[in-house]
């Protein structure tokens, strides 16, 4: 029996992801979007590439959730970009409403699915999805660390003229300015990166990693990144659907690991059948540990804004931070 994967959002990331997953040929794909014709057209286009590329994945486009029933994995990419005159809080509340509505419908259709969240602000939207779905934390995972780590590895490889395959690294924390590239654990063919790149230059690479998404937005003007994000999600889906138990940096709901409780943050985790298998706790120096906790605190602030305004969201939201007094 073939696996079934739903991708919610037929924009640039969702469309690219549907194509990557179809080409893997281990699952049938359902592409969902509220825009009539968009998911149907992209699905048909991807389907017709099958004879050329060589895959038999069935790709279906739809504006509803009936076709998604029984999905093994649901990837949520939906949301809007910030527009002129819109505050960050307004953007957060709009996207929280979109995510809440999507997750309610997707979870009802596929109550055993693993949710992979891509919508921004990533860590806060994963928190919304966890609360709305009622799923255990093992089945709600945010995509951020795989992408941020890929950018970090790319920039280091470019700096040294090395193969990206030889660069091993982790980027932890929230998906944004507070992310934490672990330079002390970064190696190139086993050699610590600090022995290869001067500290001031390495810090510039770290900052470019933090600004990686904004750099692409500024260049494209009319779009944000979609090639690397879709590849990052596909790697996570591989680990879950194929049960490979790979260790990848992902955003998960922490329950005491790294001294953090009650919020999503990017940490190394083992992914396999059913989603999160275990959180991997690596030894961090005092500086990285403090940075990771600051990152988690920043996520908690964002989630707090949504929680305090949750009555603005259609259908309401459960408490997002049960340990808080708000």
What does pLDDT average to over the chain?
93
- Comparing CA positions, the residue from 122, 149, 130, 164 lying closest to residue 210 is 149
- pTM summary value: 0.95
Domain of residue 86: give its range. 3-142
Catalytic annotation on 175? yes
> Are residue 29 and residue 86 in the same domain, yes or no?
yes
Within-domain flag for 128: yes
Please identify, among 118, 142, 166, the residue that sits at the C-terminal boundary of a domain. Answer: 142
Are 126 and 151 in the same domain? no
Question: What is the domain-level CATH number for residue 280?
Answer: 3.90.110.10
Q: What value does the CA radius of gyration of the chain take, rounded to a whole number of Å? A: 19
Q: Say yes or no: 105 and 253 in one domain.
A: no
Looking up residue 60, the CATH number of its domain turns out to be 3.40.50.720
Q: How confident is the model at residue 325 (pLDDT cuts 50, 70, 90)?
A: very low
Q: Is residue 311 part of a domain?
A: no
Q: With bands split at pLDDT 50, 70 and 90, how would you rate the model's confidence at 326?
A: very low
Q: Do residues 41 and 182 share a domain?
A: no
Domain boundary among 142, 162, 194: 142
Q: How much is the average pLDDT of 230-254?
A: 97
Q: Do 85 and 223 fall into the same domain? A: no
Q: Is the pLDDT of residue 80 over 90?
A: no
pLDDT band at residue 309 using 50, 70 and 90 as cut-offs: confident
**166 and 28 together in one domain:** no
Tens of pLDDT, residue by residue over 281-293, are: 999 999 999 999 9
pLDDT per position as a tens digit, 145-166: 999 999 999 999 999 999 999 9
153 with 132, same domain: the answer is no
Task: For residue 317, tell me if it sits in a domain.
Answer: no
Percentage of the chain exceeding pLDDT 70: 96
* Statement to judge: residues 150 and 280 lie in one domain: yes
**Catalytic option among 3, 175, 253, 323:** 175
Give the pLDDT confidence score for residue 324 in this predicted structure.
46
Residues 201, 131, single domain; the answer is no
Q: Is residue 45 over pLDDT 80? A: yes
Residue 319 forms part of a structural domain: no
Residue 322: pLDDT over 70: no
What proportion of the chain, given as a percentage, has pLDDT over 90?
83
Residue 318 is assigned to a structural domain of this protein: no
| Range 123-132 average pLDDT | 96
The confidence score (pLDDT) of residue 5 equals 98
């Amino acid at each position: 029996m073939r696996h079934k994967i739903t991708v919610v959002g037929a924009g640039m990331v969702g469309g690219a992801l549907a194509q990557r997953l179809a080409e893997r040929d281990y699952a049938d794909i359902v592409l969902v979007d509220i825009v009539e014709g968009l998911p149907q057209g992209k699905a048909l286009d991807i389907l017709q590439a099958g004879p050329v590329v060589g895959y038999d994945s069935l790709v279906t486009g739809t504006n509803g959730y009936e076709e998604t029933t029984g999905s093994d994995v649901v990837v949520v990419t939906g949301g809007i970009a910030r527009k002129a005159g819109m505050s960050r809080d307004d953007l957060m509340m709009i996207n929280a409403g979109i995510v809440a509505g999507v997750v309610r419908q997707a979870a009802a259709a596929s109550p055993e699915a693993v949710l992979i969240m891509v919508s921004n602000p990533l860590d806060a939207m994963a928190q919304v999805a966890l609360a709305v779905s009622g799923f255990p934390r093992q089945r709600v995972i945010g995509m951020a660390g795989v992408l941020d780590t890929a950018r970090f590895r790319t920039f280091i490889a470019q700096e040294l003229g090395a193969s990206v395959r030889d660069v091993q690294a982790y980027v932890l924390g929230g998906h944004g300015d507070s992310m934490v590239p672990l330079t002390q654990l970064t190696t190139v063919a086993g050699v610590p990166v600090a022995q290869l790149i001067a500290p001031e230059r390495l810090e510039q690479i770290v900052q470019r990693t933090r600004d990686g998404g904004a750099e692409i937005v500024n260049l494209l003007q009319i779009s944000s990144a979609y090639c690397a994000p879709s590849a990052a999600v596909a790697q996570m889906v591989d680990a879950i659907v194929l049960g490979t138990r790979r260790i990848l940096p992902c955003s998960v709901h922490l329950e005491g690991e790294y001294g953090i409780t009650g919020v999503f943050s990017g940490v190394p985790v083992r992914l396999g059948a059913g989603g999160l298998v275990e959180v991997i706790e690596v030894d961090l120096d005092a500086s990285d540990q403090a940075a990771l906790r600051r990152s988690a605190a920043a996520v908690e602030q964002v989630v707090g804004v949504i929680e305090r305004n949750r009555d603005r969201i259609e259908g309401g939201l459960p408490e997002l931070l049960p340990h808080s007094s708000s």
